[in-house]
Amino acid sequence: MLVVSEVTVNHLYTPTGLTKTPKISWVLESTIEKTKQVSYEIYVSPDENFENIIFCKNEESSASLLIPLDFEMESLKKYYVKVRVKGNYGNKTNFFVTNFTTGIINRELFLGNFITDEKEEDYNSMSGRLLRQTFLIEKEIESAYSVTTSLGVYKFRINGDFVGSHILAPGWTSYNKNLLYQTNEITSFLKKGENVFGAHIGPAWYKGKMGFDENINNYGKHSGFYGLFLINYKDGTKEFLYTDENWKGFKSTVVFSEIYDGEIYDATIEKNNIWTTDFNDEDYNPTKKIDFSFNNLNSQSGCYVKEQECFLPKKIIRTPKEEIVLDFGQNLTGYLEFNLPETKLGETIELKFFEVLDKEGNVYTENLRKAKQTIIYKCKDKKDVKYKPHFTFQGFRYVEIVSFPTEVKKEYFKAIALYSDMKKTLKFETSNPLINQLHHNIEWGLKGNFLDIPTDCPQRDERLGWTGDAQIFCQTASYIMDTYTFFEKWLTDLKLEQEEDGGVPYVIPDIIDKTKDNWKEHGTHSAAAWSDVAVINPWVLYNTYGDIDIILNQYDSMKKWIDFMEDNSTSYIWSYKKQFGDWVALDAEVGSYLGATPDELITTAYFAYSTELFAKMAKIIKNEEDYEYYSSLYEKVLYTFRKKFFTENGEMTTKTQTGHILALKFNLVEDKYKEQTVNNLIELLNKENGHLVTGFVGTPYFCSALSKNGKIAEAYNLLLKEDFPSWLYQVKMGATTIWEHWDGINEKGEMWSSDMNSFNHYAYGAIGQWMYEDMLGLNFDEENPGFKHFYIKPNATTLFSKVKGKFKSPYGLIKIKWKTKGNNVTLKFTIPPNTSGTVIVNNSEKTYESGTYEINYTI
Ligand code: BGC
């Protein structure tokens, strides 16, 4: 039996707010081997019953990914899509029906104003604001849609009910160039008669303290709200409503809120009936218009931050210092909800969030630096008190109950993990529980740092979109979850924030205050491995998800970055202000974060790698001229690298692990010197007693540089090391996420310097890529992106009796499982319909079409 088991539109399930050409993809499932699609039919209609077909496509084709629906879409309209396919055995599937809703296609509809009720003296205020208006609806409603966004973050309600489940919308973008709006269907929220529309806004990234310089009002001095509402009446007429100066506003019960510091909530100033028509807002503040160009408004049609998972406290700890602490057993990013039977006026609840206990088992908050991560709730006489923060989030495993009106009981609390809404795509399990925990920690590194933008860490006074971290981790993350729309959004900001000369900022959105002298000297953009995110991430996304749009959208930005490197190079070795080197490597000099590998080796290696990838992408989009130019540039950089960093005898001039890893991984070593180079790398490893001393740049590729050059046993030895420094050292120390430093907590239980010691930093989790590609064996094929054809190249070893994984590829579920018994390996795998996979083991290869197979071999 053949079925269409899911359909996505522009990578999303039932998106709302689509403004670009919808592209439809579907997944096929079949019980019959070697199933292929021979044709498909797609129908689009504005009605659920498909009575009025406005677009159809009927093609003899095996294509099932990102089929464009070229028809003219109207703004704020729901379209239904049905798809069915015919397989090579003559059978047709049932129709799979889905829908999507458009955003604002006709930009002239953007009318009304961004509004605020803040006055000049509120510039420094970090309180929440409530904005409110009533609308009279006199006719029967057919359907209705809202388009909302804010300067700050917001929650929008109609008649008291929250519209949309997004948290901290509109997220963090380069607001003054790109502000995202959210589209929702609001038909069921409205009623005939008076309706109350209201927004609660908080300062968050827009207005609150962010970045290294502790600046507030980074994007503007007033938080504000914008709404556009369309009501389609049953009589065929339409009405547009907008936010304007007739709305009223006032300070909310959230009297203080910031991303780093937390929130203060004052229940004593709660007002009744705000969301009902009985509420009298006559005496409240008038609102005024904020100038904000509608040209900067763009639609977000999915991948919103949402409440994703809940944790109950595992235990309540009383520390040696008598602190009362909740332990949730998992380091996560989100907030705490409490539900109390009763509170009394005058009581205060104070909660402090943190990641680890110190050596003695007491609360440890020093690594948060200046971030307060504190919630204060001022109580009033009330029954059934329920609270969770509105406009902030914390990175924590533990919560210190600093003050509490009653006995602390587990059942009062719930931790809620927040992250961007992405499809989970990988399940991975082995016979080694420590490796399973490592995979778990990698996954939670992702969950904790994919809160609207890819952050370095979620807890201290940083939480920034560091480009290097996002580059290093992109492929690993893209196996674990479908990151396409997440990175597509962030890369759009990268493009917008890129310097005129092509330089790529250290952090995106670029919050660094360039007016400060220290930054002028140090630089705020363009570091090797960091800025290469501009090229590497589109490449990863293209291969993993098969969407050429990411190359087209980012093409100019990528090219500008390569040109920047060329323009700033002398004889093909580039340099520019501050580099981060092999960040936090253990071979750094005492007191330095910069590993021992010289900057020029890293800049040149990445120059070569990014240029090679860019030339490939030029070819993919058939830009022959660029392909020629950048291929030849690549050859020149490669030649330079070989000349500069190898002696005539094929020895590397730099004797660091990372130097050798980059040369091997980026294929910069002449064939005749490969063996020598990998042997030298092993020597460097042996010098450290088999341990890595690499940082952000070398670590992700260490195992790969070994195993791809025939040193499989050595790669496994490295992965499986349990003592410091190693991935499993952290696991054995009880980590539930990935640490920033190999020795965030050393063997004596002492902390690394508190100036930079995050316990939720995904960078070293980039080893996931090796675990999924080289252990399990899942590999994409550049010639057939999106896993239309792929490779299964496991490195089975007697060190594991079992390794198995399931990956939800864009074409369907790929399953791989290998088991060992002595030297005998059983490899079982499933290839989804309409794809093929080539299995490479023991130097022999065979290609399989869809189905489930088992093969046996010896190692
Ligand atoms: C961040 C890193 C980042 C680095 C660059 C740190 O403060 O936490 O992850 O890549 O700075 O220097």
Q: What is the pLDDT of residue 517?
A: 84
Number of neighbours of residue 570 by Cβ within 10 angstroms: 7
The candidate with the shortest Cα–Cα distance to 331, out of 729, 735, 749, 757, is 735
Ligand 1 close to Cβ of residue 742 (< 6 A): no
Minimum CA distance residue for ligand 1 atom 11: 466
- Cα–Cα distance for residue pair 693/688, rounded to 1 Å: 8
Q: Which atom of ligand 1 is nearest to the CA of 763?
A: 9
Break the chain down into helix, strand, coil percent, rounded to 5: 25, 35, 40
469, 474, 737, best to mutate for ligand 1 pocket (most atoms within 8 Å of CB): 469
- Cα–Cα distance for residue pair 420/568, rounded to 1 Å: 37
State the distance from the centre of ligand 1 to the C-alpha of 415, rounded, in angstroms: 27
Ligand 1 close to Cβ of residue 466 (< 6 A): yes
Peptide bond before residue 509 is cis, with ω within 30 degrees of 0: yes
- Average of per-residue pLDDT values in the chain: 97
CA angle 563/564/566 to nearest 5° reads 60
User: Buried b / exposed e across 575-592, counting CB within 10 Å, b at 16+?
Assistant: ebebbbbbbbbbbbeeee
Ligand 1 close to Cβ of residue 461 (< 6 A): no
Minimum CA distance residue for ligand 1 atom 12: 580
Burial class (CB in 10 A: 0-12, 13-18, 19+), 650: middle
Ligand 1 close to Cβ of residue 595 (< 6 A): no
pLDDT digits (tens, 9 = 90+) for 28-37: 999 999 999 9
CA angle 366/368/374 to nearest 5° reads 105
Q: CA-CA-CA-CA torsion for 674, 676, 679, 680, nearest 10 degrees? A: -110
Which of helix, strand or coil describes residue 558?
A: helix
Ligand 1 close to Cβ of residue 497 (< 6 A): no
- Which secondary-structure segment (H or E) carries 82? strand 78-87
Sign of CA dihedral 396, 402, 404, 409: positive
Q: Which two tokens stand for residue 261?
A: 């510091």
Ligand 1 close to Cβ of residue 580 (< 6 A): yes
Q: Which atom of ligand 1 is nearest to the CA of 468?
A: 10
Q: What are the residues facing 855 on neighbouring strands?
A: 827
Q: Which atom of ligand 1 is nearest to the CA of 696?
A: 10
- Which secondary-structure segment (H or E) carries 41? strand 37-45
Q: Which atom of ligand 1 is nearest to the CA of 758?
A: 8
Minimum CA distance residue for ligand 1 atom 4: 466
Ligand 1 close to Cβ of residue 468 (< 6 A): yes
- Cα–Cα distance for residue pair 657/430, rounded to 1 Å: 28
Minimum CA distance residue for ligand 1 atom 8: 456
Direct distance between the N- and C-terminal alpha carbons of the chain, in angstroms, rounded to an integer = 37
Q: What is the pTM of this model?
A: 0.97
Q: What is the pLDDT of residue 546?
A: 98
State the distance from the centre of ligand 1 to the C-alpha of 548, rounded, in angstroms: 31
State the distance from the centre of ligand 1 to the C-alpha of 150, rounded, in angstroms: 29
State the distance from the centre of ligand 1 to the C-alpha of 420, rounded, in angstroms: 22
State the distance from the centre of ligand 1 to the C-alpha of 593, rounded, in angstroms: 10
Q: What is the pLDDT of residue 117?
A: 95
Q: What is the pLDDT of residue 655?
A: 96
State the distance from the centre of ligand 1 to the C-alpha of 355, rounded, in angstroms: 18
State the distance from the centre of ligand 1 to the C-alpha of 536, rounded, in angstroms: 18
Ligand 1 close to Cβ of residue 421 (< 6 A): no
Q: What is the pLDDT of residue 520?
A: 83
Minimum CA distance residue for ligand 1 atom 9: 456
State the distance from the centre of ligand 1 to the C-alpha of 469, rounded, in angstroms: 8
Ligand 1 close to Cβ of residue 454 (< 6 A): no
368, 466, 740, best to mutate for ligand 1 pocket (most atoms within 8 Å of CB): 466
Q: What is the pLDDT of residue 10?
A: 98
CA angle 196/197/203 to nearest 5° reads 140
pLDDT digits (tens, 9 = 90+) for 62-107: 999 999 999 999 999 999 999 999 999 989 999 999 999 999 999 9
State the distance from the centre of ligand 1 to the C-alpha of 456, rounded, in angstroms: 7
Q: What is the pLDDT of residue 305?
A: 98
Report, as ranges of residue numbers, the positions in the chain whose pLDDT lies below 70. none
